[in-house]
Amino acid sequence: DWIMGDYIEEAVAKIREQVGDEEVILGLSGGVDSSVAAALIHRAIGDQLTCVFVDHGLLRLNEGDAVMEMFAGKLHAKVIRVDAADLFLGKLAGVNEPEAKRKIIGGLFVDVFKAEASKLKAANAGSKGATFLAQGTIYPDVIESGGAKSKKAVVIKSHHNVGGLPEQLGLKLLEPLRDLFKDEVRELGVALGLPRGMVYRHPFPGPGLGVRILGEVKKEYADLLRRADAIFIEELNNWIDEATGKSWYDLTSQAFTVFLPVKSVGVMGDGRTYDYVVALRAVQTSDFMTADWAELPYGLLKKVSGRIINEVRGINRVTYDVSTKPPATIEWE
Ligand code: XMP
């Protein structure tokens, strides 16, 4: 609409004024905030923006390709995809403890991003390289870090973010979404031409499937989980609630599949199976601080479990997580 059009024009002018003829780098994650920030900044300064997309191998099915198709393919933005799956999986081998896993993933992410930033600088010898780091910080993030002092002393989960990165890289910050709430960011994304599916996606944690595979992360587990989760998400999108006309994907705040590295016995044809278990998690919440498990229709659960067990060889049992937050958290790690 015209209001959003005006907003975009203003934001574009502001970014141009702030950046001048300098260069900007941005860490693209595939999440809503960094995607919208990238699309907006690209609208403003085109090729003065370079996006770095670190693929840690813990993304959802086809997610990496979809991000590249959108930003490099459709928007013609400069995007460097760093395939760091082997690096991440290598460092995660043998690590079971959730906080240890989070620290490894967060630390590697920063290392890889920094290495890419200095490579870019070296490649453009003569130019001073990027002088700005762009981030998709939104208003609630600003509030949260401002209120950090009042935060509970107990860290439940160390959140993966790139805090401190601008100082380490000696870059100025560019945060064009700082004044916006999540729904405004989404509207802006649609107005900038991003697909609704990308903009209205459920949140996905920075450590990705790393915190949805319990205990040690292995490629084999990640591959099974990706396929099971894709089925769950597809069916949530397909299942329309008659009363509201909305899909169950839209009726839930976050839904995903968790890989449990335990095996259980099953029967298939006239043979015995001894395969892995997954848990489906779907919650409804307004602030993610508390959450209720979603009362998904039995028919939907039946369809999803049937498809996962039949289509994903290696998984023979599907469970549904009926825990509220608190005392359970939304993610399992
Ligand atoms: P929990 O599991 O603490 O999750 O109830 C609350 C919300 O935060 C998301 N989450 C994260 N998001 N980096 C993020 O960007 C992280 O490290 C992270 N850990 C959890 C989680 O998906 C849920 O939406």
Strands 292-293 and 271-284: antiparallel
Q: What residue owns the CA closest to ligand 1's atom 19? A: 205
Q: Is the pTM above the cut of 0.90? A: yes
Residues making up the annotated binding site are 29-35
Q: Are 56 and 148 in contact (CB under 8 A)?
A: no
User: What is the mean pLDDT of the segment spanning 230-245?
Assistant: 98
261 token code pair: 């590295």
Question: From 3.40.718.10, 3.30.300.10, 1.20.210.10, 3.30.1600.10, which CATH number describes the 212-320 domain?
Answer: 3.30.300.10
Assess whether pLDDT exceeds 90 at residue 59.
yes
Q: How confident is the model at residue 150 (pLDDT cuts 50, 70, 90)?
A: very low
Cα(208)–Cα(261) distance, integer angstroms: 17
207 Cβ inside 6 Å of ligand 1: yes
Q: Give the atom of ligand 1 at the shortest distance from the alpha carbon of 31.
A: 15
| 14-26 tens-digit pLDDT | 999 999 999 999 9
Domain with CATH 3.40.50.620 in the chain: 2-199
205 Cβ inside 6 Å of ligand 1: yes
Distances (CA, A) of 201 to 36, 111, 160, 259: 12, 27, 19, 21
Distances (CA, A) of 54 to 8, 90, 168, 208: 27, 16, 18, 12
Domain with CATH 3.30.300.10 in the chain: 212-320
Q: Say which residues have a Cβ less than 8 Å from residue 265's Cβ, sequence separation at least 6.
A: 272, 273, 274, 316
| 277-316 tens-digit pLDDT | 999 999 999 999 999 999 999 999 999 999 999 999 999 9
151 Cβ inside 6 Å of ligand 1: no
Share of the chain above pLDDT 70, in %: 95
Q: Say which residues have a Cβ less than 8 Å from residue 48's Cβ, sequence separation at least 6.
A: 19, 21, 22, 23, 24
303 Cβ inside 6 Å of ligand 1: no
Classify domain 2-199 by CATH architecture: 3-Layer(aba) Sandwich (3.40)
